[in-house]
Chain A
Amino acid sequence: MPTLSAGPPVISARQLSKHYGDFKAVDGISFEVPAGESFGLLGPNGAGKSTTMRMIGGVSQRTSGDLTIMGLDPEEHGPEVRAHLGVVPQQDNLDEELRVRDNLLVYGRYFGLPMSYLRPKADELLEFAQLTEKASAKVDALSGGMKRRLTIARSLINEPKILLLDEPTTGLDPQARHILWDRLFRLKESGVTLILTTHYMDEAEQLCDRLVVVDKGRIMAEGSPAQLIREHSTREVLELRFGSERNTTVAAELQGIGARLEPLPDRVLIYAQDGEAALEQVISRGLRPITSLVRRSSLEDVFLRLTGRSLVD
Chain B
Amino acid sequence: MSVHLTAQDYALEGSRRPLAALYSRNARAVIARGLLATRSSNWLVMVSGFFEPVLYLVSMGVGLGALVGSVEGPNGEPISYAAYIAPALLAVSAMNGAVYDSTWNVFFKMNFAKLYQGMLYTSLGPLDVAIGEIFLALLRGAMYATGFTAVMALMGLITTPVALLMIPASVVIAFGFASFGMGITSFMKTFQQMEWVNFVMLPMFLFSATFYPLSVYPQGVQWFIQALPLWHGVELLRQISIASFTPAAAVHLSYFLVMIAVGMLLTTLRLRKLFLK
B14 at the A/B interface (Cβ < 8 Å)?
yes
**A235 close to B (CB within 8 Å):** no
Asked if A96 meets B113 with Cβ closer than 8 Å, knowing A3-B6, A72-B14, the reply is yes
Interface of chain B residues 107 through 121 with chain A (CB within 8 A): 113-115, 117-121
Cβ 8 A contact of B12, one of A84, A87, A91: A84
Place the interface of chain B in its size category.
35 or more
Establish whether residues A98 and B40, one from each chain, have CB atoms under 8 Å apart when the complex forms. Answer: yes
Q: How far is the CB of B90 from chain A (nearest CB, A)?
A: 29
A89 to B115, CA, bound (A): 12
Range class of the A interface residue count: 35 or more
Which B94-151 residues have a C-beta within 8 angstroms of A? 113-115, 117-125, 128
B-contact bits for A63-95, CB 8 A (1 contact / 0 none): 000000011100111111111110101010111
Q: Give the residue of B3, B41, B117, B123 whose beta carbon is less than 8 angstroms from that of A110.
A: B123
Interface string of A95-129 (1 = CB under 8 A from B): 11111001000110111100000000000000000
Interface class of chain B by DSSP: loop
Asked whether A76 lies within 8 Å of B14 as measured between CB atoms, the reply is yes
A252 interface hit (Cβ, 8 Å): no
Q: Give complex CA distance A36, B4 in Å.
A: 10
Q: Does B250 contact A (CB under 8 A)?
A: no
Instruction: Tell me the bound Cα distance from A41 to B11 in angstroms.
Output: 24
Cα of A101 to Cα of B124 in the assembled complex, Å: 20
Q: Which chain B residues (8-31) contact chain A, with CB distance < 8 Å?
A: 9-12, 14-15, 20-24, 26, 29-30
Q: CA–CA, A94 to B37, complex, Å? A: 13
A112 touches B29 (CB 8 A): yes
Min CB–CB distance A27 → chain B (angstroms): 18
- Which of the segments A187-195, A217-225, A265-273, A286-294 contacts the partner chain? A187-195
Among B23, B42, B117, max chain A CB count under 10 A is at B117
Q: A10 contacts the other chain (Cβ, under 8 Å)?
A: yes
Asked whether, in the complex, the Cβ of A78 is within 8 Å of the Cβ of B32, the reply is no
Q: CB distance B121 to A89 under 8 Å?
A: yes
* Partner of B1 from A84, A109, A159 at Cβ < 8 Å: A159
A78 touches B21 (CB 8 A): yes
Give the distance in Å from the alpha carbon of A102 to the alpha carbon of B34 in the complex: 12
Chain A residues within 8 Å of B120, by CB? 59, 78
Chain B interfacial positions (CB closer than 8 Å to A): 1-7, 9-12, 14-15, 20-24, 26, 29-30, 32-33, 36-37, 40-42, 113-115, 117-125, 128, 272, 275-277
> What are 5 A-B contacts with C-beta separation under 8 Å?
A4-B5, A35-B7, A70-B11, A91-B114, A109-B29
Query: What are the 8 closest A-B residue pairs judged by CB atoms, nearest first?
Result: A191-B5, A7-B7, A110-B122, A79-B24, A97-B37, A93-B114, A109-B29, A87-B121
A: which residues have CB within 8 A of B? 3-4, 6-8, 10, 35-36, 57-61, 70-72, 75-85, 87, 89, 91, 93-99, 102, 106-107, 109-112, 158-159, 161, 187, 190-193
Taking A35-B5, A59-B120, A110-B30 as given, write out 19 further A-B residue pairs in contact, using a Cβ cutoff of 8 Å, ordered by the A residue number: A4-B6, A10-B10, A35-B10, A70-B11, A76-B14, A81-B12, A89-B121, A93-B115, A93-B117, A93-B118, A97-B37, A97-B42, A98-B40, A111-B123, A112-B123, A159-B1, A190-B3, A190-B4, A191-B6
